[in-house]
Amino acid sequence: MTALSRRIEFWVVVTVAFGYFIAGSVWAAWFAHPSDDLAFSDASMIGLILTELVLFSLLAPLLWWRGWRPEALGLGFTWRDVGVGCALFLACIIAASLLMTGLALMADGMGPLWTRMEGAPLSVAAIVAVSIVNPIFEEVFVCGYVIRALERTRSIAFPVNASVAIRVSYHLYQGAIGALGVAVVGLILGWWFARKGRLWPVIIAHGLMDLVALLGFGIG
């Protein structure tokens, strides 16, 4: 494993972690009508959780063998991370909401630029599970790994922008406005992590955003 080049390692990790989600997102963005609703259910949430757990179980040994330890990915935890995560959550919500509202007003009359996400009320178990598993999976790889791996040979802007590009690519199903909102969130979380090197506040902020979004479907 140690003979594997860093470049190959990077592409293997990114492809395994996000290839399936990127392909599905591009497919939905390309073939689905922008006004089509995306249905969410307990079954789809369970499927997401299981998929991410399987992918994580495949990649964790690889990263360990390659010398990646939790500390290298910014996973050291302190209770201060909770407060910082809440502050990041508020910053992301405010920034993304302002951008998306402004773009929606500017696009008035131009047709739908985002995909509506609908679904039946979700169970508490599904909401909590997704709000824990999904942020950990995504941020460990799209933020922690991507930025740390690329910053070894690049200036800080390149790793952050690469992280944002990957993040947006698997959220294209949300439509143009939704994807731009994701880009804003990615920039805030990516730049903060690149500067501070602590991943738990990023995970907590992401988890809170997932929790709020899923609660919007109601509790069944």
Residue-wise pLDDT for 139-177, tens only, equals 999 999 999 999 988 889 999 999 999 999 999 988 888
Could you give the count of Cα atoms lying within 13 Å of 85 in the half-sphere of its Cβ? Answer: 20
Which candidate, 76, 46, 78, 204, places its Cα nearest to that of 139? 204
Tell me the CA end-to-end span of the chain in Å, nearest whole number.
Answer: 47
Give pLDDT tens digits for 31-86.
765 445 566 889 999 999 999 999 999 999 999 999 999 999 999 999 999 999 99
Q: Which residues contact 220 (CB under 8 A, 6 or more apart)?
A: 42, 120, 121, 122, 123
Contacts for 218 with CB less than 8 Å, ≥ 6 apart: 121, 122
In sequence order, which residues have a C-beta less than 8 Å from that of residue 214 and are 6 or more positions away?
Answer: 40, 45, 122, 126, 127, 130, 131
Q: Give the pTM.
A: 0.90
Mind listing the pLDDT tens digit for each residue in 95-125?
Answer: 988 987 887 677 654 444 445 556 668 899 9
Closest residue by Cα to residue 139 from 31, 18, 44 = 18
Residue corresponding to tokens 């942020």: 135
**Residue 75 CB-density burial (10 A; 0-12 exposed, 13-18 middle, 19+ buried):** middle
Sequence length of the chain is 220
Report the run of H or E that residue 158 belongs to, with start and end: helix 157-169
**Of 83, 116, 101, 107, nearest in space to 217 by CA:** 116
- The sign of the CA dihedral 11, 49, 182, 185 is negative
